[in-house]
Amino acid sequence: MLRRLFLLGLLAVSLFALPTRTQAQSNLATPNVFRDVSQYHWAASWINQLYNEGVTGGCSTDPLKYCPDNTVSRAQMAVFLVRVIHGQNFTPPAATTIFGDVPASHWANRWINQLYTDGVTGGCSTSPLLFCPDTGVSRAQMAVFLLRAVNGKNYTPPASGNLFGDVPSNYWAHDWIGQFYSAGYTGGCTTSPLNFCPDMLLNRAQMAVFLLRAIHGTAYSPPAIQLMAPKINGCQILPQNNVWNTPVDGLPVHPLSNQWVNTLGRSANFHMHFSSGTYNNGPIGLPYNVVSGASVTKYNVNFQYYLQSDPGPYPIPSNPLIEWGSDSHVLVLDTDNCHLYELYEGAYANGQWSAGSGAVWDLSSNALRPNGWTSADAAGLPILPGLVRYDEVASGFIYHALRFSGRYANSYIWPARHLTSGTAGVLTSTPPFGARFRLKASYDISGFPPEMQVILQAMKTYGIILADTQTSDTPRWTVQGTPDSRWDQLIVHTMDVLTGGDFEAVDESSLMLDVNSGRTR
């Protein structure tokens, strides 16, 4: 009978630091828990179920991460398989030296020796007898190991026909792989043509699927991930399928990526326009106001660009928080109807509000501005949905793209609606408003403070959208957020090392269903 398995972290110090909780068998959707596993990751539900069942504590605990793309070593696999054979509470005998490359002091010595005693492995070489504990496990080896662990050391798979195009009849694990497929553990690595990729190293995401199928049976499906969208005071900030809330980590690189990065500055540094404290006697970032519209005065604002501004009225509290500086943005979230009201160059005098432009956003809708219209920013986009907020970072997850400004912009593309230079629909070497960039997947974020890793992971998963230009003489990429006394300025400034070259533009045109809607496919 199969028993529960315990999945190890990649670091020896966390190998047995597993959470204690009651095994979850519910089919209800469960929240995503790992910071480095997007809620849209193909194996997210499997990985989270391992955690919910107490099978894994992840590869690190502060922050909680799973390392889904890391390979599984033979030493780690030994622990998995011994748990399958003997149960979760089994403790192997005292350490001794059997394999020449696994001394008694090795963290997995006892588990490797037990696997050998159980007859599941004969090592990676017999003369001398070696185990190769740090070598990655291939998909072919996994098929053999898991079938032996499940069916016993004397198990021999039945003869198999040629099922996979890349597993010829003379391949050493041909019959094992055939049985692995027939038993329902795998559908292969590709389906058209049907391939198994036998020599590909197994990663932790794939391991999650195999382990849960071994535990619960090959027909098992874990509970779905409870998809999350950003919220403020009970108001969801745009629909789940809105372009701002849609990941882009799997989209292709835009053909003009290199040119756009060069124009904005490949070596130009990033600047986080949010912090605690003040600069030039004002707060750093774009604040927002949360009100009950029924309890504040509503104003018919006098607009300079009235032909492209929503008439309102705008619920604005007395003494509202206003962006410090020339743009003087006023952002108001009305929790009565979950509408967002945004002003550019807002000013109050003699009992009346005036502004350069203004926009009202129904946060339950995917509607965009009329084509060619501005909003409270130059791109015709909402501001609040793209800001970095402290509460999100503290929660461990940001579920949306971030907004940024650059030194240049030309034209605009979906979902932006407005330009300040160039010709609509004509793309050049200068990026348009609405261009989306992402932090390259290869960029190592592990050395940053945990709070900043949350932001960096969002940059990888959801990206950053060019929404405005800046007047700075120094080329830089400015990511915008909200001022908050809880920001640690020193920690925020660790992000200054980012440069344009760490990013790539993505082609998100495939997400668009309707040019007049922010809804994605």
Q: How far apart are CA 391 and CA 127, in angstroms?
A: 58
Same domain, 210 and 318: no
Last residue of a domain, one of 169, 187, 216: 216
Q: Is residue 369 part of a domain?
A: yes
Q: Is residue 376 part of a domain?
A: yes
Q: Is residue 6 part of a domain?
A: no
At residue 392, does pLDDT exceed 70? yes
Q: What pLDDT, on the 0 to 100 scale, is given for residue 27?
A: 57
Q: What pLDDT, on the 0 to 100 scale, is given for residue 474?
A: 78
- DSSP class of 158: P
Both structure tokens of 46: 């499997």
Q: What pLDDT, on the 0 to 100 scale, is given for residue 28?
A: 63
The pTM for the full model equals 0.83
Same domain, 77 and 195: yes
Mean pLDDT in residue range 55-71: 88
Amino acid found at 10: L
Average pLDDT over all residues of the chain:
92
**Which pLDDT band holds residue 14 (cuts at 50, 70, 90)?**
very low
Nearest to 119 by CA among 91, 82, 87: 82
Same domain, 145 and 240: no
- Decide: 376 and 323 in contact? Cβ < 8 Å: no
pLDDT tens readout for residues 486-499: 999 999 999 999 99
Same domain, 244 and 211: no
Same domain, 353 and 208: no
Torsion region of 412: left, alpha or beta (phi above 0 gives left; psi -120 to 50 gives alpha): beta
Q: Is residue 2 part of a domain?
A: no
Residue 368, phi then psi, degrees to nearest 5: -100, 175
Same domain, 322 and 185: no
Both structure tokens of 7: 């999945």
Note down the domain range covering 467: 232-511
Residues 6+ apart with CB under 8 A from 287: 321, 322, 323, 331, 482, 483
Q: Is residue 319 part of a domain?
A: yes
pLDDT tens readout for residues 496-516: 999 999 999 999 999 999 999
Q: Is residue 516 part of a domain?
A: no
At residue 96, does pLDDT exceed 90? yes
Same domain, 504 and 459: yes
Question: What percentage of the chain exceeds 70 in pLDDT?
Answer: 94
Same domain, 482 and 352: yes
Question: What percentage of the chain exceeds 90 in pLDDT?
Answer: 81
Same domain, 344 and 470: yes
Q: Is residue 112 part of a domain?
A: yes
Last residue of a domain, one of 149, 182, 216: 216
Same domain, 399 and 356: yes
Same domain, 211 and 164: yes
Same domain, 179 and 110: yes
Torsion sign, CA atoms 342, 343, 348, 354: negative
Report how many domains make up the chain: 2
Both structure tokens of 404: 């940024």
